[in-house]
């Protein structure tokens, strides 16, 4: 609750929080609040100091209980920042969280962990202690000391989109929120009689599948109620799309990119990518023995709904074929290439890695389940479908292996630890400088701060002409001189 009181030339503003009374005293000329003058010993002298029983805070003298101003206790407010992780987990997230928390101790800044991503700010009920416990976690040296030694996120995560909420928590039932803007324009989720201009309408905790609401007002109210002045959002293109909106609404936010897909715009690298390639390479190397023993064709599925970075770089590291979303392959030609590989291999096997969003000419991807908060449905395994098609056409024994969730599991490798710690430090430095709307990034192989990507542009994609051989279905290995370390430039 924010409040303000005038006392002579005193302007006293404070925030009241459970168990905390915070205030800042400025320019009061009454004796209770006059700055103390000190003598050579450092002790207050004469009538210039606080009255008997008073104390000083932040260099200002403060009156005792019962003083003329009626102020019982006034202290200087600490700066408070929030941090959250959204979307799928990847190794390296905890390194960012720990880095920001440790750095904050140097500047006496409080760090509040917001648990379960954007859900913390849409579902938090500040009047409910149980809700605060579920969604708010003050971070300190003790509870972050060892978190960087493991993967995942100590703050948990969710796929919540405050701009398109279909199911509201009970404590928001009956409150007025704008209907969500449809991705195709217009207003989505309006009830009969709702204005198509986006005017506010009453929402209930139970809504139909077509109703959704923009609860950004609640997000801002919860940030204010928690006393958070600056936010660090760690996520992929979906999570950061709402970070961009929050910045546009006037709240200070800094972004840190993470995704195994490595498809966030404006950066050449996202936390989690290196570990994913390491995991995929190790799994494929292990499975060579069993696939070779049975003289099979092995198809490996990895993440990559819209972009083929994970598949391409895994193929680059393991010298196998790959299929990516940016290019629809000719299935007859692909089968011919794989059979050629198999015939030329002394162990009589062939391998291919395929992105979950890839396909071939004439292929219709299968999806199932309800769309998530960002409109994505789960994809049926394209690896299984490709394996079945190859076996049907050739009679060759073909096996599919799904590597997806294994790639995000376990501890981060060195590169993801290095980048995560550096991205976290850059985000914290940006907060100290009062910046907003920026993201930690690698650009031209160098660390930099860049604008949070425009959500309307969608995810970053491979430049097929320079990275992928559409004739041989493998990475292009030539002409890498002068490229940044991760072989592609930010776009």
Q: What is the DSSP string of 191-234?
A: PTT--TT--EEE--SS--TT--B--HHHHHHHHHHTT--EEEEE
With both helix axes pointing from N to C terminus, report the angle between 93-106 and 414-432 in degrees, rounded to the nearest 10. 40
321-323 vs 350-355, strand pairing mode: parallel
165-191 residue pLDDT tens? 888 899 998 888 988 865 544 444 433
Q: What pLDDT is recorded for position 76?
A: 55
Q: Predicted confidence band at 374 (pLDDT cuts at 50, 70, 90)?
A: low
Q: Which strand (E) or helix (H) includes residue 418?
A: helix 414-432
**From the candidates 237, 238, 261, 263, which is the catalytic residue?**
261
Residue % of the chain over a pLDDT of 90: 68
Sort 346 into a burial class: Cβ within 10 Å, 0-12 / 13-18 / 19+: exposed
Distance CA 148, CA 488 (A): 28
Q: What pLDDT is recorded for position 38?
A: 39
Distance CA 482, CA 70 (A): 69
Structure tokens at 363: 């292929």
Residues 277 and 327 sit within 8 Å (Cβ to Cβ): no
Alpha helix stretches (DSSP H) within 294-345 = 309-318, 331-344
Q: Predicted confidence band at 62 (pLDDT cuts at 50, 70, 90)?
A: very low
| Cα-only R_g, the chain | 28
Q: What pLDDT is recorded for position 476?
A: 97
Q: What pLDDT is recorded for position 199?
A: 45
Distance CA 240, CA 254 (A): 10
24-28, 88-92, 347-351, 440-444: least confident range = 24-28
Side-chain half-sphere exposure of 183, counting CA atoms within 13 A: 11
Q: Which residue has the higher pLDDT, 114 or 67?
A: 114
Q: Which strand (E) or helix (H) includes residue 119?
A: helix 119-123
Distance CA 473, CA 312 (A): 10
Side-chain half-sphere exposure of 182, counting CA atoms within 13 A: 11
Residues 300 and 281 sit within 8 Å (Cβ to Cβ): no
**Average pLDDT over all residues of the chain:** 82
17-51 residue pLDDT tens? 433 334 443 444 343 444 443 343 444 433 333 33
**Residue-wise DSSP of 19-75:** TEEEEE--S--STTTSPPPB-TTS-B-GGGSPPTT-EEETTEEE--TT-TT------
CB count in 10 Å sphere of residue 199 = 12
29-43, 232-246, 296-310, 344-358: least confident range = 29-43
> Could you give the domains of the chain?
2-62 (no CATH), 80-162+215-271+413-451 (3.40.50.450), 274-407+463-475 (3.40.50.460)
Q: What pLDDT is recorded for position 78?
A: 82
Distance CA 172, CA 127 (A): 12
- 406 tagged catalytic: no
Long-range contacts of 412-417 (CB under 8 A, 24+ apart): 412/91, 412/92, 412/95, 412/151, 412/272, 412/275, 413/91, 413/274, 413/275, 413/278, 415/274, 415/275, 416/90, 416/91, 416/92, 416/95, 416/271, 416/272, 416/273, 416/274, 416/275, 417/92, 417/95, 417/148
Residues 360 and 306 sit within 8 Å (Cβ to Cβ): no
Residue listed under structure tokens 């073909």 = 398
- What's the whole-number mean pLDDT along residues 466-476? 97
For the chain, helix (H) and strand (E) counts, in that order, are: 13, 22
Quick check: helix, strand or coil at residue 274? helix
**Measured between alpha carbons, how far is residue 37 from residues 25, 73, 228, 330 in Å?**
17, 20, 34, 84
- Residues in the chain, total: 491
Find residue 179's DSSP bridge partners. 213
């Amino acid at each position: 609750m924010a409040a303000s009181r005038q006392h002579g030339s005193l302007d006293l503003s404070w925030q009241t929080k459970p168990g905390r009374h915070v205030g800042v005293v400025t320019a009061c000329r009454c004796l209770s609040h006059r700055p103390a003058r000190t003598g050579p010993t450092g002790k207050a002298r004469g009538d210039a100091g606080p009255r008997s029983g008073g104390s000083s805070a932040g260099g200002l003298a403060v009156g005792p209980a019962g003083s003329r101003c009626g102020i019982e206790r006034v202290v200087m407010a600490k700066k408070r920042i929030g941090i959250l992780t959204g979307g799928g987990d990847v190794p390296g997230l905890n390194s960012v969280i720990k880095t920001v928390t440790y750095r904050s101790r140097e500047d006496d800044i409080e760090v509040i962990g917001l648990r379960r991503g954007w859900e913390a700010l849409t579902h938090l009920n500040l009047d409910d202690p149980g809700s605060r416990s579920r969604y708010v976690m003050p971070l300190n040296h003790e509870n972050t000391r060892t978190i960087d030694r493991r993967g995942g996120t100590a703050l948990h995560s969710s796929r919540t989109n405050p701009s398109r909420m279909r199911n509201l928590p009970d404590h928001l039932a009956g409150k007025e929120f704008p209907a969500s803007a449809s991705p195709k324009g217009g207003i989505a989720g309006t009830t009969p009689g709702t204005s198509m201009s986006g005017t506010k309408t009453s929402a209930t905790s139970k809504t139909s599948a077509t109703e959704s609401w923009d609860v950004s007002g609640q997000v801002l109210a919860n940030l204010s109620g928690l006393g958070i002045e600056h936010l660090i959002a760690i996520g992929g293109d979906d999570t950061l799309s709402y970070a961009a909106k929050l910045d546009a609404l006037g709240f200070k936010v800094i972004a840190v990119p993470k995704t195994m897909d490595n498809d966030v715009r404006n950066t050449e690298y996202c936390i989690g990518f290196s570990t994913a390639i390491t995991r995929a390479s190790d799994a494929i190397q292990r499975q060579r023995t069993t696939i070779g023993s049975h003289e099979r064709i092995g198809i490996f599925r990895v993440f990559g709904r819209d972009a083929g970075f994970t598949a391409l770089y895994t193929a680059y590291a393991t010298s196998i074929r790959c299929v990516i979303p940016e290019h629809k392959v000719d299935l007859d030609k692909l089968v011919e290439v794989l059979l050629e590989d198999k015939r030329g291999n002394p162990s009589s096997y062939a391998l291919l890695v395929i992105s979950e969003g890839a396909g071939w000419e004439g292929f219709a991807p299968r999806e199932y389940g309800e769309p998530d908060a960002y409109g994505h449905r789960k994809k049926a395994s394209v690896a299984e479908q490709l394996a079945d098609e190859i076996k049907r056409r050739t009679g060759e024994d073909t096996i599919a292996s799904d590597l997806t969730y294994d790639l995000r599991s376990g501890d981060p490798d060195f590169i993801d630890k290095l980048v995560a710690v550096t991205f976290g430090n850059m985000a914290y430095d940006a907060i100290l400088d009062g910046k907003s709307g920026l993201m930690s990034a690698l650009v031209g192989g160098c660390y930099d701060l860049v604008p949070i990507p425009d959500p309307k542009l969608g995810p970053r994609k491979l430049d097929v002409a320079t990275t992928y051989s559409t004739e041989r279905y493998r990475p292009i290995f030539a002409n890498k001189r002068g490229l940044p370390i991760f072989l592609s430039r930010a776009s």
